[in-house]
Amino acid sequence: MFIFRLLLKNAFRHKLRTLLTMVGLVVAICAFGLLRTIIDAWYAGVDGTSSVRLITRNSISLTFPLPLSYAERLRNVEGVTGVSWSNWFGGIYITERNFFPQFAVEPASYLALYPEYVLKDEEKKAFILDRQGAIVGRKLADQYGWKIGDQIPLRGTIFPGTWTFTLRGIWDGVDAKTDESQFLFHWQLLAESNRKRFKRGADYVGVYVVRINEPDNAPVVSERIDALFKNSLGETLTETEKAFQLGFVSMSEAILVAVNAVSFVIIIIIMAVMANTMTMTARERLAEYATLKALGFSPGFVVKLLFGESLVIALIGGGAGLLLTLPIAAGFAKAVGTLFPVFMVSETTMMYQILASLIVGVVAAAWPAWKMSRIDIVNGLRHVA
């Protein structure tokens, strides 16, 4: 306790300089945590995937649909225990700024494949029975203030016209990684509209969602599915749900690398600022450390004093930065809306912040501690005012 009080007193001997250094640490650790959280949010869709779900799409591109007739053939593939499908809709709610994912799905089979969407039985039944019905995630409903029974108009882009849906259910995610920002409605409604408008092209889907019996069977079942439709007019590419999501993340890989690099550059900068502070502190106390050595204290004691003081400053500033990250991240998540379906500061990020603070404290004190451990007593005492 005595040593800690001594370190604390030494750390705040020059209050203004210490406070400014701590402010820099708070800003750096907070920025580091926020940038790491943004990277985590980018991969949230990957982390929330299931190991027993496969995605089957057209091998050319996602923009090319697959025939609905594939569904029955997929159900007969060995290792497949469930099949559903979905289409991207891409409608606009009031203004283009209100972006959120919208999918036309086959209600019963699709919800059976996504048990992480926790929906009340009566809401699920109402959705299945109402062709004009829709369900949304809790985050999306809270963002726009939607309630059960509300009429939600979407202006079509890929599929022209104004589409009005009745909100029949709001699901909650089974855990924090579950996406609660999606809008789901009946694929059959979309198919009927396409049939009236285009006279053909109605019986096509965007992707198939396939459930398998064992995660380890994913490569084998994927090969079986793709072999089944080889040399057909609509050849398929089947991959795990995780690989499918990683394909979207890879499109932004350059941005993620840049954000990751900036997060570490911030730590390096504050490390240099902290090192400068500790070097100035060591110079000012040159005579004090020489006196301690003259009184018989070992060089190791002087080193411990410098490292201890540096760590006290780093941990106080880093701890404050960590705590400040939580409300800032919450405000950021609210500001970006559904851009990041899952945005939260993870325990791993908080551990990185603490570790970064410790590294800054240790590295900043390394050079001045080494210099003070080698100080000559006579030359040091000459600095006594």
3-state SS record for 320-364: HHHHHHHHHHHHHHHHHHHHCCCCCCCHHHHHHHHHHHHHHHHHH
- Work out the burial of residue 3: count CB atoms within 10 Å of its CB; fewer than 13 is exposed, 13-18 middle, 19 or more buried: exposed
DSSP 80: E
Per-residue confidence (pLDDT) for residue 62, from 0 to 100: 86
**8 Å CB contact between 214 and 55:** no
Per-residue pLDDT of the chain (385 residues; tens, 9 = 90+): 666 777 777 777 778 888 888 899 999 999 999 999 988 888 877 777 888 999 999 999 888 999 999 999 999 999 999 999 999 998 999 998 888 999 999 999 999 999 999 999 999 999 999 999 999 999 999 999 999 999 999 998 888 889 999 999 999 998 888 889 999 999 999 998 888 776 655 688 999 999 999 999 999 999 999 999 998 888 999 999 998 988 877 777 778 888 889 989 999 988 888 888 887 776 766 666 666 666 666 777 777 777 888 888 888 899 999 999 999 998 888 887 777 778 888 889 999 999 999 999 888 888 877 777 666 665 656 655 4
**8 Å CB contact between 104 and 86:** yes
Sign of the C-alpha dihedral computed for residues 250, 254, 260 and 261 taken in this order: positive
* CA end-to-end distance (rounded Å), the chain: 31
**8 Å CB contact between 340 and 34:** no
Per-residue confidence (pLDDT) for residue 75, from 0 to 100: 94
Per-residue confidence (pLDDT) for residue 385, from 0 to 100: 46
Per-residue confidence (pLDDT) for residue 295, from 0 to 100: 67
Amino acid at 105: V
Which helix (H) or strand (E) covers residue 67, if one does? strand 66-67
Q: What length is written for the chain?
A: 385
- Smallest CA-to-CA distance from 5 within 319, 305, 289 is with 305
